[in-house]
Structure 1
Amino acid sequence: MRNFIALAWKDRSIRHQANRASIHPVSGPTSGSSPDREDVGFKSWHSSLVRIPSWPEEARPLKERNWISNLYLVGDIVLVLAPIFFLLLGIAAITLHRKPTEGNSFGSKVGFATQLGPTIFPIVFAAIIGRSMKMIARYLAEKGAKLSTLELMMASQSVWGTVESQLLMRRLTVVGIHLLFLWSLSPLGGQASLRLLQTADWPQYTSAKLRYLTTGPGGSMWGLGTIYDGGQGFRDVNALYGASLFAPNTIKSGPQDAWGNVKIPSLEPLNASEHDADGWFTVPTITSAEGYSSLIGLPVVGRPLDADANFSLESAYISARCDPFVFIPEKSNLSNYYSPQWWSPTTNDTMFTQTSFFLDTDQPGSIGYFSGQSQDQITAARRLDSFFGHENNSATDDPLATSMRKLIMGSLYQGAVSLVNCSLSQTHVEAIVNCTKSQCGVQRIRRSQTDARLTNFTGLEHFDIVTGFLKNLPTAFNTGAGSTPTERFLFNTNSIPTHQTTGLLNDALLSVLFVNLTQVPIETFSRRLSVILNTYYQLSVAPTGYSGDLPQNLSLYGPDTLPVSDVNKYLPRNVTAANTTFYDWWPLFFNTVGQNPAGVPFIGATTNGTIVHHQEIFVCNFGWLSLLLAASSVIFFTGLAGLLLKRKTLAPELFGFVTSMTYENPYINILEGGVLDAMERARLLKDLKVRVGDVQGSEEVGHVALGTGANIRRLERGRLYI
């Protein structure tokens, strides 16, 4: 049989050997002869046989292997293995799941690879799936398949090609549905590779003990033993007080002071009806300084500033509730309006020395109860013991022993005095603080559940404290003329508490340098005065505790305690401030505290905080991972199937090429070469000029075909074709 085929091929070659050299039409039609594709002339197709260099003229078997085919095989294998990259990318994402990103060079490389996924994946997908569809179609064609199936598979070289072929076929088949599903994996796989690996914040929670400035009785006594009675003076206190007043408005109205200490909001302005079942108020946005109890906050030790934190603080602050102002036109008549307690005699020289306002109180202070005291001294001693929680039942019969202390303030204004009386109390609160790294603020606040001391008494019950406080606060600024920065703050918290103008002092200038506090609403004035009192009082207790860089050795701040019981931690076990008078326990307390190392800034209360370290980690999205693995596996196995079927298929590769239209084409007169693949055939026929036109141009009805030769008639609108 093979010999017969070889002889037939050789005979055909001999018969056409004479006119293989070129393509040329026969000029003009031949009259009296019937049209024939080998000898009919003008406007009917005719061409000489074409001789092609290197054209196979001898019969040969199909699919001969050579080094070129082996090279193509290597390329096909490499292409089929390309989806493994995405499978490995998925595995890498799994290994990086919940691993920290910091210092992870492998993670950075994987992240870079995922960014390339949406670009690379569709290219790899189209290259493998498109080629595999052609290989599978060839195999099915060799075995016998429906033309529609082959057409759909050959058209599935892209997403749109797959959709378009369904529309043009005007039918939806099982093969078409599967092809649509297959090509939908191309964009999905690209997106899956992009969204496969993400980063997220991973909070790590730890508990830590924190120490903070106690505002309980022990804190006041620390100030008594250092500033008020210890002889260390108020120079540092005045400097910090001035810095607080002159801080920018954003600091004075912000949740932290200038040194980063968290400020305690004032409980009084909050609406009592808005607390929850446990008494918690949500702190609203505070836009003015009087929304806080003080211009300075509570220093906290032990909290890492590079982490978030949540903790609670117990605090106590002074609250002032003032009566309406009394305007005294002449300061010389001041003694007619109130009886001074600390200023005697009441003269301009004593009350307004180096200042434009004075502070006074209606009751004396005490250093403790001991025998031989007058009734007024006994009353003052009872008030002092009540501040520490030691309540004397007999004191209830004495109104002066239980009433609020009155604070009297007189402010100069152009020779007149604005006089106001304020009742002082102490508010005990518990605050919840949230910190984002170094930025902290109180989020919720309520009345203290642990400090049940009477609220009518403050640290000003001690003689040395009230004396030092009333004398030093008005003289914190050595003024020349005009109102002090303290008064200017009380007049307007939003302006810089100072004034500078040109010209010699005269009545007109003095009217500018002084502020008239009677113009301030009394409720607003009460809140501002509370801020001033607490700011100066807190600074006088521990002035070295506010400027930062505090020792981080928590044991330096004394034993763990709450503010309400801070005194008891420095007393013997059988002695407490509640069952012993101040006069008896003070020496014990002072001796114990005096043993603290030098440089300890304050007595510390204790709280437990939740420290949150935020770490950026890699997070594998397992939904997208599953999609990527599925799509990559489909590509791999489809490509592998196409490769295997290509090796099994014997038919030449003739689907999807223009050259395929030259096989057994009667209008292209070339030697037969059916064993050649389409691309190999195209390489040999690269210089052959062809045209789609009318190969029956001389007939009434034309015929459209691909052919060679100059006499192929061009296609015309309106002409009929078959």
Structure 2
Amino acid sequence: MHREDTVVSSYHIVGTEHRSEKPHPYQDAIVPRAIRSATDVWAILGALTDVVGALLALCFLVFGIVVVYTNDRSIESAPWIPAILSATQLGPTIFPILFAAIAGRSLKAVASWKVEHGATIGALEQLLGSRTLLSTFFLQIHMRAFNLLGVALVLLWALSPLGGQAALRVARMIQSEEITAQDMTYVDFTSPLINRGPGKGDFLDVIDGIFVAELLSPAVNKISPMDTWGNVRIPMLEALDDYTEEGDSAEWLKIDSSKNTTWSSLKGVPHGPRYTAENRTFQLETAYWVTTCQPGRYHYEVEWLGTSIDYFTGPGVINATGYWESARNWAWFRLETERRSANPYLLQYEKYVYENVSQPLPDHEFKTDYNFTWLPSTPRIFHFETATTNRTLYSFTCTLQTSYVEAEVSCINDACAATAIRRSQQPHNSTNWSTLDFIPLTGSASFYERFINATRPVQDGRSTATEGYLTDPYTPYMASFANGDAGTNGSSLGSSWIDIGAVSPFSPLVSRRLSQLLNTYWLANIAPTAVTGVLLTDADNHYKGKIVPSTEHHMVNTTAQASTSRLVLRYNLPWLLILFVASTVLTLCALASLFFNLRRTGPDILESFSSFTRDNPYMVAAEGQHSGPLLGVRGGPGATKTAGSNLDGVERARLLRDVTVILADVAVDEPVGHIALTTALPAGFADEGAGTGAARNDAVALLRKGRLYD
């Protein structure tokens, strides 16, 4: 007898006494063989599957590392950013699928290894029944398995949706600001007059033009934080709502952009560089003049001259000491010129005293043996007198002081605005002194004379735009064009002449407006060429580390914090950490699957339905079928053993794929039924779905409601 016949003859096929003389189709399957080894083809394919799974899981780790490497970089410096963004869109789809495949295979490998070394049914059911987050959660509830394994499995499967969302949300494009230090310069308010000295008269028309242009600018420009040429305006600290003389001088007062700010000058402080792409924030030390004017009175003669006026020719006195009049003789400006120091021609600058009585000292020699005991305690006083209605004059008196401030300026591209201001914390001269007090009288006289004549009336006997600004800053030239009929000889004063005395409240409004005019004209005088942002820096103006007076404007250096806005990739740290954790766990699962599958020696019987046929006494082969050696023998404990114990579940399923099974009552004749998986079909069972020649048995019946089962 052949070996195969010997093997087959040891099995009893239930349901028939037929013994075929031909070789059985399952002879190869039931031949005894050694247990699986690592060199088995299916073992090698399984190992390769685990390796591929580990590599795919590592791709998500690498993806996270690339995101970290690309953090805060723009597309210009990292051209692979579009690929990263595309990958984030695929993450929520790919990661859960990959996680289910790898984690499920890993848990099965662990269960298969444990069952060979002894494991509780509860642990095996937990491992094999965990396939999704919800199934794992409800399995613990159904089994009442509230243990560490159950918690670990729930946490494991929670990483599946979290990992997918992490891959989606780990990175995004945002606007980022890169902060760098940038050198800047701006015009020093205490620069010398440009119109002093030979050859400087060419600038006078330019200076007057700048002044007139600011007066002519529309109302929206006058309230803007920048002047007509883009220079930043400095707020008048004294006019802010939050300012008090008793307040902390070091406290920054914020500038409310929603309110109309009172600016110290119509002309801003020229600064540079201009027209840059960066957003910048910088601080500048500057100053401005503050006039304090008191209401005056109406009268019929020039007060300080004691002379009545002719309404066409003016008061009839020209070039009186300390007295300047407009070219058309309808505004007069007088500065008190009593001696204010032992030497009225001392020019003090940057803590040095520069003596200039008639000519500069040789080699710009500095005198350092000085003190400030001679500084007066009272500010400069000046008088302003203007023609008004009813053939009268209006005269009022003002004081002139200097306000030293520190302003914080913010620029968005080339649009700048002062955002905060406070009293300067640096040492300065007495506020009762202005820059004009440190130059010869001829220089200050020239300034006042030019100021009063900068806006000439359009016709004799009419108000100037300077006077018009004091009454209405937004339409200063309306006075020149609509102030009544001047008459045939131009000597008549009409009823609509400007009346500065009618301004109410007089002191705050006239004081601030006159301060704005004086500061505007002063800035135009000291830096006419810088108005458009062309800043002069002359190394010859520096001597022994100090700037000395020159014919050009002085520059002050400062450092700005420049921020460049750009679109960069930015990772989300919480989601990045979740991605790293989920990817690491997934990689470990793939490696665990590889490890336990290689360590496993027995067949893979878990999770295969065909495993229910192993040594099952209710599994019988129908007549004429050759599956008997793989199926049990009915008869309970005395049943003959079956063959193919070394088969994996998939191999057994392939061999038994045509066998029909049913979950039925196998104890029909008993008062209490018994439910089992069997190949014996109930009598009269339809052939549809049943294998050819399937066995019928009257002792087997379908399950029915109402019957009791053990």
1:120 to partner: Cα distance:
3.6
Deviations 1:175-226 (A, max 9, x none): 2233234334445545665676677957554463x4322221xx23324348
Alignment partners' CA distance in 1, 2:159 and 2:120: 26
Do 1:360 and 1:409's aligned partners in 2 also have CA atoms closer than 8 Å?
yes
Residue 649 (structure 1) aligned with residue 622 (structure 2): no
Deviations 1:436-455 (A, max 9, x none): 55335253321463331562
Residue 296 (structure 1) aligned with residue 267 (structure 2): yes
Q: Which moved further from structure 2: 687-696 or 435-444?
A: 687-696
1:224-623 correspondence runs (5 A): 224-225=196-197, 230-232=200-202, 234-247=204-217, 251-270=221-240, 271-272=243-244, 275-276=247-248, 279-285=250-256, 291-302=262-273, 305-326=276-297, 328=298, 335-336=300-301, 338-339=303-304, 346-348=310-312, 350=314, 358-363=331-336, 385=346, 404-410=380-386, 412=388, 419-435=395-411, 437-438=413-414, 439-441=416-418, 443-447=420-424, 449-453=426-430, 455-459=432-436, 462-472=444-454, 474-475=455-456, 478=458, 489-492=469-472, 518-522=502-506, 523-548=508-533, 550=534, 554-555=537-538, 558-559=541-542, 566=547, 569-570=548-549, 593=551, 602-612=552-562, 614=564
Alignment partners' CA distance in 2, 1:398 and 1:633: 78
Do 2:301 and 2:393's aligned partners in 1 also have CA atoms closer than 8 Å?
no
Residue 150 (structure 1) aligned with residue 124 (structure 2): yes
Residue 103 (structure 1) aligned with residue 77 (structure 2): yes
Amino acid of the residue matched to residue 256 of structure 1? Answer: M
The 3-state SS of whatever aligns with 1:263 is coil
Do 1:405 and 1:425's aligned partners in 2 also have CA atoms closer than 8 Å?
no
Do 1:261 and 1:300's aligned partners in 2 also have CA atoms closer than 8 Å?
yes
Q: Which residue of 1 aligns with 2:8?
A: 7
1:463 to partner: Cα distance:
1.9
1:408 to partner: Cα distance:
0.8
1:299 to partner: Cα distance:
1.1
Deviations 1:413-456 (A, max 9, x none): 69776554322223233434454553352533214633315624
Q: Which moved further from structure 2: 354-363 or 179-188?
A: 354-363
Amino acid of the residue matched to residue 449 of structure 2? Answer: T
The 3-state SS of whatever aligns with 1:291 is coil
Do 1:662 and 1:668's aligned partners in 2 also have CA atoms closer than 8 Å?
no
The 3-state SS of whatever aligns with 1:145 is coil
Alignment partners' CA distance in 2, 1:303 and 1:487: 34
Distance 1:686 1:417, change over 3 A: farther
Alignment partners' CA distance in 2, 1:314 and 1:559: 19
Alignment partners' CA distance in 1, 2:544 and 2:421: 22
Distance 1:379 1:626, change over 3 A: closer
1:149 to partner: Cα distance:
0.5
Runs (5+) with no aligned partner, structure 2: 316-324, 358-369, 487-493, 631-643, 687-699
1:266 to partner: Cα distance:
1.7
1:222 to 179, 194, 199: 194
2:709 to 704, 714, 721: 721
Amino acid of the residue matched to residue 77 of structure 1? Answer: V
The 3-state SS of whatever aligns with 2:556 is strand
Amino acid of the residue matched to residue 151 of structure 1? Answer: E
Q: Which residue of 1 aligns with 2:590?
A: 639
Deviations 1:559-606 (A, max 9, x none): 3899xx75xx25xxxxxxxxxxxxxxxxxx6xxx4xxxxxxxx42222
Distance 1:356 1:136, change over 3 A: farther
Amino acid of the residue matched to residue 523 of structure 2? Answer: Q
Between structures 1 and 2, the one with greater helix share: 1
Do 1:425 and 1:457's aligned partners in 2 also have CA atoms closer than 8 Å?
yes
1:545 to partner: Cα distance:
1.1
Aligned residues: 621
1:156 to partner: Cα distance:
1.8
Distance 1:466 1:249, change over 3 A: closer
Q: Which residue of 1 aligns with 2:618?
A: 666
Alignment partners' CA distance in 2, 1:463 and 1:406: 12
1:621 to partner: Cα distance:
7.6
The 3-state SS of whatever aligns with 2:295 is coil
1:675-686 correspondence runs (5 A): 677-679=648-650
Alignment partners' CA distance in 1, 2:675 and 2:465: 103
Do 1:294 and 1:535's aligned partners in 2 also have CA atoms closer than 8 Å?
yes
Do 2:72 and 2:570's aligned partners in 1 also have CA atoms closer than 8 Å?
yes
Amino acid of the residue matched to residue 529 of structure 1? Answer: L
1:92 to partner: Cα distance:
3.4
The 3-state SS of whatever aligns with 2:300 is helix
Alignment partners' CA distance in 1, 2:511 and 2:259: 14
Do 2:470 and 2:500's aligned partners in 1 also have CA atoms closer than 8 Å?
no
Alignment partners' CA distance in 2, 1:9 and 1:87: 56
Alignment partners' CA distance in 1, 2:101 and 2:701: 39
The 3-state SS of whatever aligns with 1:452 is coil
TM-score normalised over the length of structure 1 = 0.69
1:128 to 73, 98, 102: 102
The 3-state SS of whatever aligns with 1:140 is helix
The 3-state SS of whatever aligns with 2:264 is coil
Alignment partners' CA distance in 2, 1:636 and 1:526: 78
Q: Which moved further from structure 2: 258-267 or 314-323?
A: 258-267
Provide the aligned C-alpha RMSD in A. 5.1
Q: Which residue of 1 aligns with 2:140?
A: 166
Amino acid of the residue matched to residue 502 of structure 2? Answer: T
Amino acid of the residue matched to residue 463 of structure 1? Answer: A
Distance 1:403 1:75, change over 3 A: closer
Amino acid of the residue matched to residue 720 of structure 1? Answer: L
> Alignment identity in percent?
26
Alignment partners' CA distance in 2, 1:428 and 1:406: 21
Distance 1:478 1:325, change over 3 A: same
Amino acid of the residue matched to residue 244 of structure 2? Answer: A
